C-alpha cells in the first residue's frame, strides 16, 4: 500500500513501462522522479518528528540531571542526619553513665555519712561483747545486737578492712603504736588492731587504727 502511495505522490521509483506489443523500436525508460509534493511533505513531517524527539530527549536529560541533583542533596542530608543521630546517641550514653555515677556517688555519700554515725555504736557493742560478765543473758543480748548491726552494714556493702597480720598500708591503715618485730611479725606488719576499719565498694569509710612491728 505504501509503495502505491509513494508511486501516486511521485516519491520513489518511477513506474515501469507496460510491455510493448508494437514492433517499433523500444524507447528509453524515463528517469526516476526527484519527488513530488507528497514526498516533500513526508520529509518535512520526518524532520518535525525528529526535532520533536530531540527536544523530548533534551527535556528528559535535563529532568534526569535535576533528579540526580536532588538525590545527591538527599544523600547529603541523610549523611548529616545519621551523623547527628550518632552524636546524639553518644551524648545520651555519656549523660546516662555520668548520671549513674553521680547517683551512685550521692548514694555512697549518704551511706558513708550514716555508717560513720553507726560505727561508734558497733565499737561499743564489740567492747561490751568482749568484756567479762556473769550475766549470760546480757552477754547474749549484746552479741545478738552486734550481729544484727554487722548484718545491716553488710547489706549496705560495708566491709571490714583486713589488717591483722597484713603488711601496713597507709591507704587502709592508721598506725598509732609500734611493737617489736618478730619472726612471726616482721617489720612493717600489723601486729594489733586497736579499732576496726571499714570500706564501701573499695572506698575507705574509716581507716583501721593499728600497731605496726618495727
Dump pLDDT digits (tens) for 100-110. 888 888 888 88
Q: Which helix (H) or strand (E) holds 42?
A: helix 37-130
- Mean pLDDT, consecutive 10-residue stretches, the chain (214 aa), reads 47 48 50 60 82 87 88 89 90 88 84 91 93 92 94 92 96 96 94 95 93 95
CB atoms within 10 A of CB 121: 12
d(CA 203, CA 3): 106
Q: Tens of pLDDT along 29-78?
A: 544 445 566 678 888 888 888 888 888 888 888 888 889 888 888 988 89
- Show the CA angle centred on residue 23, arms to residues 22 and 24, nearest 5°: 85
- Residue 124 contacts residue 146 (beta carbons within 8 Å): no
d(CA 202, CA 195): 19
Domains of the chain in start order, with CATH, are: 159-214 (2.30.22.10)
| Contacts of 192 by beta carbon, 8 Å cutoff, 6+ apart | 164, 177, 179, 210, 211
- Predicted pLDDT of residue 69: 87
DSSP conformational letter for 131: S
Gyration radius of the chain's alpha carbons: 54
3-state percent helix, strand, coil for the chain, nearest multiple of 5: 55, 15, 30
Query: What predicted TM-score, i.e. pTM, was given to this entire model?
Result: 0.55
- Predicted pLDDT of residue 128: 93
Q: Which residues pair with 175 in a beta bridge?
A: 210
**Strand bridging mode 190-195 / 208-213:** antiparallel
| Contacts of 144 by beta carbon, 8 Å cutoff, 6+ apart | none
In whole angstroms, how far apart are CA 177 and each of 163, 181, 190, 191, 210?
14, 13, 10, 10, 7
d(CA 67, CA 172): 71
Amino acid at each position: 500500500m505504501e509503495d502505491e502511495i509513494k508511486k501516486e505522490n511521485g516519491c520513489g521509483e518511477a513506474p515501469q513501462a507496460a510491455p510493448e506489443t508494437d514492433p517499433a523500436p523500444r524507447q528509453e525508460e524515463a528517469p526516476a522522479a526527484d519527488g513530488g509534493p507528497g514526498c516533500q511533505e513526508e520529509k518535512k513531517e520526518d524532520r518535525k518528528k525528529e526535532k520533536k524527539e530531540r527536544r523530548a530527549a533534551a527535556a528528559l536529560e535535563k529532568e534526569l540531571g535535576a533528579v540526580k541533583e536532588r538525590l545527591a542533596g538527599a544523600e547529603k542530608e541523610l549523611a548529616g542526619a545519621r551523623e547527628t543521630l550518632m552524636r546524639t546517641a553518644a551524648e545520651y550514653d555519656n549523660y546516662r553513665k555520668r548520671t549513674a555515677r553521680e547517683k551512685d556517688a550521692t548514694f555512697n555519700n549518704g551511706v558513708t555519712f550514716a555508717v560513720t554515725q553507726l560505727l561508734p555504736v558497733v565499737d561499743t557493742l564489740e567492747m561490751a561483747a568482749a568484756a567479762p560478765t556473769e550475766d549470760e543473758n546480757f552477754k547474749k543480748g549484746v552479741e545478738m545486737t552486734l550481729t544484727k548491726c554487722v548484718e545491716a552494714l553488710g547489706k549496705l556493702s560495708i566491709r571490714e578492712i583486713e589488717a591483722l597480720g597484713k603488711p601496713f598500708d597507709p591507704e587502709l591503715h592508721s598506725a598509732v603504736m609500734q611493737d617489736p618485730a618478730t619472726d612471726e611479725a616482721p617489720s612493717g606488719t600489723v601486729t594489733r588492731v586497736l579499732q576496726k576499719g571499714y570500706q564501701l565498694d573499695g572506698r575507705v569509710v574509716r581507716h583501721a587504727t593499728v600497731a605496726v612491728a618495727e
